[in-house]
Chain A
Amino acid sequence: MMAMSTRHILLGLLASGPSHGYDLKRRHDERFPQARPLAYGQVYTTLQRLVRDGLAEVEGTDSDGGPERTKYRWTEEGERELAEWAREIAPPAPFVTNEIFAKVVVSILSGGDADAYLRAQRAAHMERMRELTAVKTARGADLATVLSADYALNHLDADLRWMTTTGVRLTTLIAEVDAA
């Protein structure tokens, strides 16, 4: 199974034509605005590994009056590998080991205030959702920004729904303990 990786993203960017490292970095950061920007070092090492594995090759060098830059293009093998990766289903994640879940369980086990924690966590989630909503609805927001904010918003929303249900279950649990 192939995981999400910088090499596949760089191969994907090479699909639109030969490019040099600086340009690939710039286009990556534009296309994936919510992701961490790629470091130049990472771009160049990844390109060298793609060449080593026969997935990309050097097209040539140009300088445009500045420092000499190496241009890369993908190979047929690179194209095949990218197509395979893009078709592969991402495994639906188990999502059982996240920090919020762990803190609630530990709180219940140790007699802590899980309800207060859930309320504080909700406030932090809502604050982040307000920021993302402002980003995606700003005039002139580009599609990559909107899609990426939507993705984050839907995941935060899923957390919130779980926290709400868990909050209600806590009340039920406490009532049962008190009644016993």
Chain B
Amino acid sequence: MSDKGGETVPLLAARDLVKAHGRTEALRGASVELRDGELLAVTGASGSGKSTLLHCLAGIVRPDAGSVTYAGQRLDELPEKRLSELRRTEFGVVFQFGQLIPELTALDNVALPLLLAGAARTEAQGEAGEWLERFGVRGQGELRPGEMSGGQAQRVALARALVTAPRIVFADEPTGALDSLTTEQVMTALVRTVREAGTAVVLVTHDDQVAAYADREIRLTDGAVAAQGVAA
């Protein structure tokens, strides 16, 4: 957490976000703050604006109105080139279906962000192997996504999201397609890893048992924040 003049400055702050998809307003004045190293759950009914909020916070879509400030920079005003560089280096993203590249092995999927950032192949693969180890899927390194179970694929996707040592991981229903025991294993691995690395997480979920892994919850209703639950 950064400190300016004795006041705590959030790592990421969104103010009064408005975003419409066609004629449907997905966000209607949502505000949220994320502290460094914090795990924040975003919950709410289907269609409440959870995923749109995550996309705005991660700089994947630009809000129609309102601001998103990350480490002192206005994300909503950054040129696309700078924004995409920031997403690649500072943020990690995981979706419900990991969106791994089907033609690549688990190891190469995880190594890819490092290769794109200019790392040598052997270094990238060495680092990728260590991240697979942390998520308990090193043994699956040579498998392609189609040869893995859903839980294994999500762990590989999490390893890929964390391999560049991002400040924030954005996870949109990362366990949405998993059974309860696999969900527990994936969430436990995620929480342990981000705690050790000091990574902040924005976790969108409709599952309250998954939200309970986070430090804090914000609940969206009709595109606005209905309630903020703060952990003790």
Contacts and interface: CB of A to CB of B under 8 A. Distances in A.
Interface size class of B (residues with CB under 8 A): 10 to 19
Contacts of B231: 127, 130
B212 A130 contact: yes
A4 interface: no
A29 interface: no
A127 B232 CA distance: 8
A160 B226 CA distance: 16
Question: Which secondary structure dominates where chain B touches chain A?
Answer: mixed
B217 A126 contact: yes
A154 B209 CA distance: 8
B212 A119 contact: no
Given A137-B191, A164-B45, A168-B45, A129 B227 contact: no
Given A137-B191, A160-B208, A123 B45 contact: no
A126 B229 contact: yes
Interface residues on A, range: 10 to 19
Given A119-B226, A137-B188, A137-B191, A129 B208 contact: yes
B211 interface: yes
B70 interface: no
A130 B40 CA distance: 12
Nearest to B217: A126
A126 B45 contact: no
A6 to B, nearest CB: 31
A119 B227 CA distance: 7
A30 interface: no
Interface in B204-221: 208-209, 211-215, 217, 219
A168 B184 CA distance: 28
B212 A132 contact: yes
A126 B226 contact: no
Contacts of A161: 208
Contacts of B215: 130
A160 B227 CA distance: 14
Contacts of A126: 208, 211-212, 217, 229
Interface string B173-213: 00000000000100110010000000000000000110111
Interface string A119-142: 100110011011011000100000
The 4 closest A-B pairs by CB, nearest first: A129-B212, A133-B212, A123-B229, A137-B188
